[in-house]
Amino acid sequence: MNNYARPDFLVETDWVAAHLEDPQVRIVESDEDYLLYETGHIPGAVKIDWFTTLQHPVRRDFLSREDFEKLCSAQGIANDTTVVFYGDKNNWFACYAFWLFEYYGHRNLKIMNGGRAKWAAEGRPLVKEVPQYPSTHYHAQEPNEAIRAYRDEVMKHIRERRPLVDVRSPQEYSGELLHMPNYPQEGAQRGGHIPGAVNIPWSKAVREDGTFKPPEELRQLYESQGVRPDSEVIAYCRIGERSSHTWYVLKYLLGYSNVKNYDGSWTEWGNLVGAPIEKSVQ
Amino acid sequence: MDRSEALELILDHYHNPRNHGEMEEADVTLQGGNPGCGDIVNLFLKFDGDRLVEITFTGTGCTISQAATSMLTETVQGYTLTEIENLDYRLIEELLSAELVKTRPKCSTLGLDTLKTAARQYQHSHR
């Protein structure tokens, strides 16, 4: 199918179409657009919303391990279920949900290449019926901190000159874009980027139809900027969703062994008192 | 209206937006957007004195941002500048439900924020 480093973690739309009735497979839609699932979704797919479902209800953090277990159990996801994520915006939040499932130790995970847009463009069915599955007794693992970076680790990364990948747009990276006319950008008091970070926008990893570029192109994209397979890499964006996409590309499509997603991202760093910032524009 | 009926109405506004389109004779036009998620609305307002007599919009983006703006345009026709200035997120909660506004506060209030800014622009230019 493809010659990515870990091809088992990526499936095409025809694979999904062939597994709609497979009881070992749970298809999950994760979108930025909160009501997109309600307009129609892949038959049998359940909805997991990044904001209302995957976040802690009070503090800035993810849902607890216990709540993750409840979520999976309620969606009929067992520990050995193969969970296939897809969504809007080139799978940003599909990758975000994938990353969080890995954080809590789920093993059988896949991304549907091209996401919701490709499925729809191929004229495949979208339905409004919300499926119900028998609940399970899901057991999550302790959080896997090897894939998550916190701000202190980012500071250390800066000092040790290890690779940081800013996957936002060049305008966000340069500090030019903090506000758009008439509407404040969410979150950050300051614009710019983390010192030493290279700018490789997430969008450079995908083709126009939203599918991932071939491995040789991806390899060139990252290695030409000094982000090498043997390095300890931290990716960040604004809130951690676009960097989940890059985390997935580096870890699963290119086989990088040590990649972390800094989910605090610019909404934390750009508000952090005293945090060093580089800007390309004044 | 129960939850599913309310949801159907919102999705109907998304699929069949009311007051949709540009307005050549508008007194003020303004684009509002959220670069974080790509929601854009363009508002076109026509006033008679301090009263909003016509409002249309175009835009792209998520279901909530576009449906909320469509619903807003139906509600505020005929409002005065003062009435527009006094609007806040509670109107959007009435239109969409508090539950939905909580899920995506920025998207749901994009049209309202843009309307209030546009009305202020009109007011300043006609003092």
Tell me which residues of chain A, numbers 198 to 237, contact chain B at a CB-CB cutoff of 8 Å.
Answer: none
State whether A100 and A61 are in the same domain.
yes
State whether A137 and A21 are in the same domain.
yes
State whether A45 and A164 are in the same domain.
no
Residue A119 lies in domain: 7-143
A252: domain CATH number? 3.40.250.10
Cα A108 from chain centroid (whole Å):
16
Report whether pLDDT(A99) > 50.
yes
Whole-complex ipTM: 0.83
- What is the mean predicted confidence (pLDDT) over A165-176? 91
State whether A168 and A130 are in the same domain.
no
Q: Is residue A276 part of a domain?
A: no
Give the per-residue pLDDT at A183: 44
Report whether pLDDT(A49) > 70.
yes
Q: How far is CA A154 from CA A58, A165, A221, A269, in A?
A: 24, 11, 22, 10
Q: How far apart are CA B125 and CA B122, in angstroms?
A: 5
Q: Which of A192, A164, A201 is nearest to A272 (CA)?
A: A192
Give the per-residue pLDDT at B124: 93
Given A95, A125, A143, the domain boundary residue is A143
pLDDT tens digits, one per residue of A136-157:
999 999 999 999 999 999 999 9
- In this prediction the pTM is 0.91
Q: Nearest CA of chain B to the CA of A201: how many Å?
A: 14
Q: Looking at per-residue confidence, does A282 or B92 come out higher? A: B92
User: Is residue A95 annotated as part of the catalytic site, yes or no?
Assistant: no
Nearest CA in chain B to A238: B36
- What is the mean predicted confidence (pLDDT) over A21-25? 97
pLDDT tens digits, one per residue of A200-250:
999 999 999 999 999 999 999 999 999 999 999 999 998 999 999 999 999
Q: How far apart are CA B57 and CA B70, in angstroms?
A: 8
Given A90, A108, A143, the domain boundary residue is A143
- What is the mean predicted confidence (pLDDT) over B74-85? 97
Q: Is residue A275 part of a domain?
A: no
CATH architecture designation of domain B3-125: Alpha-Beta Complex (3.90)
Helix runs in chain A, H state only? 13-18, 36-39, 65-74, 92-103, 115-121, 151-159, 170-174, 215-223, 241-248, 265-269
Model confidence at A24, pLDDT cuts 50, 70, 90, reads very high
Measured between beta carbons, which residues in chain A are less than 8 angstroms from residue B10?
A: 35
- Given a contact cutoff of 8 angstroms between Cβ atoms, the answer to whether A36 and A128 are in contact is no
Model confidence at B38, pLDDT cuts 50, 70, 90, reads confident
Report whether pLDDT(A184) > 90.
no
**Contact state of B10 with A186 under an 8 Å Cβ cutoff:** no
Model confidence at A188, pLDDT cuts 50, 70, 90, reads confident
Q: Nearest CA of chain B to the CA of A160: how many Å?
A: 31
Judged by DSSP in three states, A153 sits in: helix
State whether A197 and A132 are in the same domain.
no
Q: Is residue A172 part of a domain?
A: yes
Pairing of strands A259-261, A233-236: parallel
State whether A203 and A244 are in the same domain.
yes
Model confidence at A180, pLDDT cuts 50, 70, 90, reads very low
Q: Which residue has the tokens 């750009």?
A: A270
State whether A155 and A191 are in the same domain.
yes
